[in-house]
Amino acid sequence: MGQAPKPVLVPDVSQRDIEIAYSFTGAELLLFGAILYPGGRLPKGEAPTDIVVVVKGPTQPVLVREKEKVAGIWVNAQHQRYSSVPSFYALASSRPVDRIVDERTRAIYELGLDSLQLSPGSNAVTAVEHRFQRGLVDLKRRAGLYLEAPHAVGITDGVLYRARLTIPARVPVGRFTAETFLIRDGRVLAAAVRDIDIRKSGFERFVARAAERHGIYYGLAAVVLSVALGWGAGWIARRI
């Protein structure tokens, strides 16, 4: 017998392009969509489905240093390097994710902050690696760049869903992904992805492009401007 057809997700986001200007204080992202069941009807007698939405920013290498107090002075001690850390991570779900899928499934799909695969660059002892990863995730969480929102996804009539996530003012720029998972009985039935572009605009965009494309000239201009501002401030102070 052939395998029964699976439902299909049709997701979307309220903003595909988010521009960051000098006055940017953050944005609220609406993620919504529909679940299309085979035959156009909601299955009867089956367990209800759950929705998990994960928004990720571009990955980047990160070096995490641990401070240690020696003779009353804080100095750098151990460190751990990671090669692919999401610059932003937000998860919204219809229930707490640990009640929706098991640990193995969470690790496969990176569902939850404790299931991120950050690719450590050294063969550290497992306990040390876990300590550094917890510290990195905690730093990102306190900066507002990592968050989890259980019960943030609402499902209407088992077909329509929606969730709201906050994009903080300090969000990095780049290509983001919003991935939606349809889950029943601990199994991922369907997944779909939408892209989101976050970029600077106005003068901030000009400065960012100048730094990226003309790094040497940008650095020289920054030094000259700093010297000029310092000299100007000193000149004014001497005449007051």
pLDDT of residue 3: 61
Q: Are 116 and 138 contained in the same domain?
A: yes
Q: Number of folded domains in the chain?
A: 2
Three-state SS at 227: helix
Residue 149: CB atoms within 10 Å = 15
Q: Are 65 and 95 contained in the same domain?
A: yes
Q: Does 3 reside within a domain?
A: no
CA atoms within 13 A on the CB side of 53: 29
pLDDT of residue 221: 60
Q: Are 168 and 221 contained in the same domain?
A: no
Q: Are 76 and 128 contained in the same domain?
A: yes
Q: Are 100 and 120 contained in the same domain?
A: yes
pLDDT of residue 203: 46
Q: Are 177 and 206 contained in the same domain?
A: no
Q: Are 43 and 158 contained in the same domain?
A: yes
pLDDT of residue 209: 52
Q: Are 62 and 89 contained in the same domain?
A: yes
Domain containing 216 equals: 201-240
CA-based torsion, 204, 28, 91, 194: positive or negative = negative
pLDDT of residue 117: 87
Q: Does 1 reside within a domain?
A: no
144 within 8 A of 170, measured Cβ to Cβ = yes
pTM over 0.85: no
Write the DSSP string, 74-91.
EEEEEEEEEEEEES-EEE
- Encoded tokens for 163: 């969730």
Q: Are 188 and 125 contained in the same domain?
A: yes
Per-residue pLDDT 10s for the chain (240 aa) are 456 678 899 999 988 888 777 667 778 899 999 999 887 777 776 778 999 999 999 999 988 887 766 666 766 667 788 888 999 999 999 999 999 999 999 999 999 999 998 877 766 557 778 888 888 999 999 999 999 999 999 999 889 999 999 888 888 889 999 999 999 999 999 999 999 998 876 445 445 454 555 556 556 666 766 776 777 776 776 666
Q: Are 210 and 163 contained in the same domain?
A: no
pLDDT of residue 22: 64
Residue 40: CB atoms within 10 Å = 7
Q: Are 229 and 174 contained in the same domain?
A: no
Residue 21: CB atoms within 10 Å = 11
Q: Does 2 reside within a domain?
A: no
Residue holding tokens 């850390």?
85
Q: Are 231 and 177 contained in the same domain?
A: no
